[in-house]
Amino acid sequence: MFSNKESFKIAFMDRLVSIHGKDVGATTIADQYYTLGTMVREYASSNWVKTNDVYKNAKTKQVYYLSMEFLLGKLLKNYLYNLDIYQISKDGLKELGIDIEVLMEEEPDAGLGNGGLGRLAADFMDSFASLNLPGHGCGIRYKYGLFEQKIIDGYQVEVPDYWLKEGNVWEVRKSDKAFEVRFGGKVITNTQNRELTFEHIDYEPVLAVPYDMPMVGYKNDTVNTLRLWGAESKMKHVDPADLSGQSYYKVIEYKRRTEAIEEFLYPDDSTEEGKVLRLKQQYFLVSASLQSILERFKRINDNLIDLPDKIAIHTNDTHPVLAIPELMRLLIDNEGLGWEQAWAITTKTISYTNHTILSEALETWPINLFQSLLPRIFMIIEEINERFCTKLWDTYPGDWDKIAKLAILSDDQVKMANLAVIGSHSVNGVSKLHSHILKNQLMKDYKKLMPNKFNNKTNGISHRRWLLVANPGLADIINDAIGRTWIENPKELQELKKYSNDQAFQQELQNVKNRNKKDLANWIYKQEGLVIDPSSIFDVHIKRMHAYKRQLLNLFHIIDLYRRLKENPNLGLTPRTFIFGGKAAPSYYLAKNVVKLINALAKVINQDKTIKNKIKIVFIKNYGVSDAERIIPATDVSEQISTASKEASGTGNMKFMMNGAMTIGTMDGANIEMGEAVGLENMFLFGLKPEEVLGFYKRGDYDVREIYNQDPRLKFILEQLISGPLGREDADFKSIYYSLLHNDEYFVLKDFASYVKAQNKISFAYSNQQEWLSKSILNIANSGEFSSDRTIQEYSKDIWNI
């Protein structure tokens, strides 16, 4: 289509005119973005077809990664890099008077996810394709992604994110590959020739229509598929006689119910209606995906017994775990297999990743709600449950408590994590610590029953997106020092170790960091109207707002620092800029209050002339993937300060490490493995250890009052929340005050003293730039094992067998 700058220019102009019917001069940036996007999609499409043909002809085993979230962000720049046409496009556009950077900004962030779990799914897609592995995603094409966060008077306000308003250049709608998904109704049991058959009647059909997006590998001609399902009403189902009178409104209601399925990423589930909708979404994803997977399988293969050798289905957390009963349904009701055979195939095909031990995140559904929405699936779950409990009875005769705890159905609930463990062949955690806690605490009874199911796969991040593309300055100096092989094999970043004390390399690294910090400062000025000093330490805390992630602990340190500065304006302190970003769930009152607190504190501190700009606070509104790509390369200090044992892995921590930031963190999630890789002397770890936290929970003997009474700094800080300049805000920080002094569930007060010490160490370390840069280089050099390529290779070998 184009092979050099000149042919690119011709192709671009032709297309600009043919799509938009305007001269180049009259087109908008949006027109230009859309034009380049379609060119890139078509550029990739011959390899897309070829990749599918290769898989089909070789009957290659396929992996399907089912996830309710894919936090894709932008794709254009990554695809230009992966297809090796970035430079041609950039130069060509420049000659047409178009700045490619401005054009690329036009792409909306696809925010079809919440945070780490959704971003992980997106980085996995990148690794599948770049490693030439046959892995595809299955998800939902939400019309609205995660809400857009506005800040009004310091408060978070949620606005719908209509990311599709200008269309999505990457998707291809395939209406000929639609499937029907059925809700409600009832099941009739028939006996024919002494065989039971099940007939689902009076159901409401919904049409699942696939929108396929190409997942382009890095310079390797592989293009896999991310299939996002849209929901449409099935008008064939509607009797024309219904289109008048009262029935007309019933048809409209049916349409409304259907469209609701694809509307929002997270429907408000505080109501029964919202809960039903969320369950509907889960079954919609699972049923459409499995029907389409099975149909493709049957087109290419003869025998259903071979299914586990040809297909692996992975469920990202419990959200798609209805894949287990749905596959059973398809095999038994549609394909006529017997229970035992269907069960053997299903459990060999499906695997599951657990993402959290937070109890509020372990999904359950009220049985009555579940049964009326999915009657046949419920019957199958009952049968799975019954067979499992019968076996349990042999192991634990008479131990009803144990059986109730391990059953899928108990306490009037359907327990999704239990279904996941029982119906899959592999259960993995996402860091060594998290997997250890799963095996020895949360799921220890299952571990005894099924010792070989449990394993660990430490999360990873795409080093292509998070280093090569997000931080081209750093990538360039790495290439100059050690060559480009790390791009194919990120472990080779190890070669950089040799340069940790190389003064010339240190200088280059410092230059890159300074440039990135200046760029970020300019962007923050444009975005938030705030002037920050690029020579200050950029101390960054960006992630979802949640009590366990302890944004409060960070704020407490800032309040303490502010007090010290007020008492002694000449305090020898390297100026710091504290950067926060993150969304709070709309119904999470405490987290929203913390957003307000950050903004209230920012208002007080940023305006205080007496501290001579030594500290500044920035809250970046509407934090998303593109913000992360801009902020992380400019970061000096990475805040990874969750309550030990609570952060299953974290992936933000890895992105910062790979970009040379220093981590201040707890012994939690993947921080521990980062420490093993780089050496504890090159990180700033502090606070309670996971076993200490778990010990306090178990014994119930953490006395927050004792800590509070011992440390006058804490008294001062907490009083600010109710009576200082912060307390005089119209906001209600009392709830924070009381929740901390009530039981301080996340040990903010307990870890405060050791956190402040670690922060002081950081200030001291930063003043010795040579040593700082040497540590920074060692962090980059040892970050290769946190590439999602390593993670995907481990899943491929140990779980999916591809």
Ligand X SMILES: *Cc1c(COP(=O)(O)O)cnc(C)c1O
Residues annotated catalytic, as ranges? 355, 543-544, 549, 651, 655
**108 touching ligand X, by CB under 6 A:** no
Question: Under a CB-based contact definition with an 8 Å cutoff, are residues 734 and 666 in contact?
Answer: no
Residue 637's nearest CA partner among 590, 686, 601, 593 is 686
Nearer to ligand X, 198 or 588 (CB): 588
Written as six digits, the tokens of 450 are 């099924």
CB of 549 to ligand X, least distance (A): 7
Between 628 and 707, name the residue whose CB sits nearer to ligand X: 628
Stretch that binds ligand X, among 40-48, 114-122, 178-186, 614-622 (CB under 6 A): 114-122
Of the candidates 430, 425, 427, 431, which has an alpha carbon nearest to the alpha carbon of residue 417? 427
To ligand X, the closest distance from the beta carbon of 122 in angstroms equals 9
Q: Find the binding residues for ligand X in span 629-668 (CB under 6 A).
A: 650-652, 655
Q: Tell me whether residue 381 or residue 625 sits nearer to ligand X (CB atom).
A: 625
Kindly indicate which of the ranges 288-296, 303-311, 349-357, 623-631 contains the residues binding ligand X, using the contact rule CB under 6 A.
623-631
| Residues 107 and 75: beta-carbon distance below 8 Å | yes
* 119 sits near ligand X (criterion: CB under 6 A): yes
Q: How far is the CB of 624 from ligand X (least distance, A)?
A: 5
Q: Is 325 a binder of ligand X (CB under 6 A)?
A: no
Identity of residue 528: E
Which of 311/625 has CB closer to ligand X?
Answer: 625
Nearer to ligand X by C-beta: 185 or 687? Answer: 687
Q: Which one of residues 92, 115, 665, 784 is an interface residue with ligand X (CB under 6 A)?
A: 115
Maximum pairwise Cα distance, the chain: 92
Query: What is the C-alpha to C-alpha distance for residues 312 and 330, in angstroms, rounded to an integer?
Result: 16
Of 210 and 650, which CB lies nearer to ligand X in the complex structure?
A: 650
Centre a 10 Å sphere on the Cβ of residue 60 and count the other Cβ atoms it contains.
13
Site string for ligand X, 501-540 (x = CB under 6 A): ----------------------------------------
With CB under 6 A as the contact rule, the residue among 37, 92, 108, 116 that binds ligand X is: 116
25 Cβ contact partners less than 8 Å away, ≥ 6 residues apart: none
> CB of 545 within 8 A of CB of 588?
yes
Does 355 help bind ligand X (rule: CB under 6 A)?
no
Q: H or E segment at 678?
A: helix 671-678
Q: To 10 degrees, what angle do helices 551-567 and 748-767 make?
A: 60
DSSP sequence for 193-212: TTEEEEEEES-EEEEEEEEE
- Nearest residue to ligand X, by Cβ distance, number only: 652
Size of the site for ligand X (CB under 6 A): 11
Nearer to ligand X among residue 74 and residue 557 (C-beta): 74
Pull the structure tokens for residue 627. Answer: 């913000």
Quote the least distance from Cβ 656 to ligand X, whole Å. Answer: 9
d(CA 322, CA 320): 5
- Output the smallest distance, CB 74 to ligand X, in A: 12
Nearest distance, CB of residue 171 and ligand X, angstroms: 21
User: x-or-dash pattern for ligand X, window 535-564, by CB under 6 A?
Assistant: --------x---------------------
Count of CB atoms situated within 10 Å of the CB of 721: 25
The distance of closest approach from Cβ of residue 147 to ligand X in the complex, given in angstroms and rounded to an integer, is 14
Cβ proximity of 29 and 102 under 8 Å = yes
Q: Which two tokens stand for residue 409?
A: 């159905």
- Cα separation, 429 vs 356, whole angstroms: 8
Site for ligand X in 752-771 (CB under 6 A): none
Distance CA 346, CA 732 (A): 51
Among 135, 185, 320, 624, binds ligand X (CB under 6 A): 624
Nearer to ligand X, 116 or 185 (CB): 116
> Which one, 625 or 749, has the nearer CB to ligand X?
625
Q: Toward ligand X, which CB reaches closer, 217 or 650? A: 650
Q: Which range binds ligand X by CB under 6 A, 78-86, 127-135, 326-334, 621-629? A: 621-629
Could you tell me the smallest distance in angstroms from the CB atom of residue 547 to ligand X? 13
Residue 628 is a binding residue for ligand X (CB under 6 A): yes
> What are the b/e assignments for 25-45, b being 16+ CB within 10 Å?
eebeeebbbbbbbebbbebbe
Look-up of token digits 């028939």: 190
**Cβ–Cβ under 8 Å, residues 620 and 528:** yes
Tokens (6 digits) for 427: 């259960």
Tokens at residue 410, please? 């108990």
**E strands within 657-766?**
662-665, 684-685
Euclidean distance between CA atoms 533 and 170, whole angstroms: 39
**Nearest-5° Cα angle at 642, 639 to 648:** 115
Q: How far is the CB of 627 from ligand X (least distance, A)?
A: 7
CB of 466 to ligand X, least distance (A): 8
SS3 for 607?
A: coil
- Could you list the residues that contact ligand X (CB under 6 A)? 115-116, 119, 543, 624-625, 628, 650-652, 655
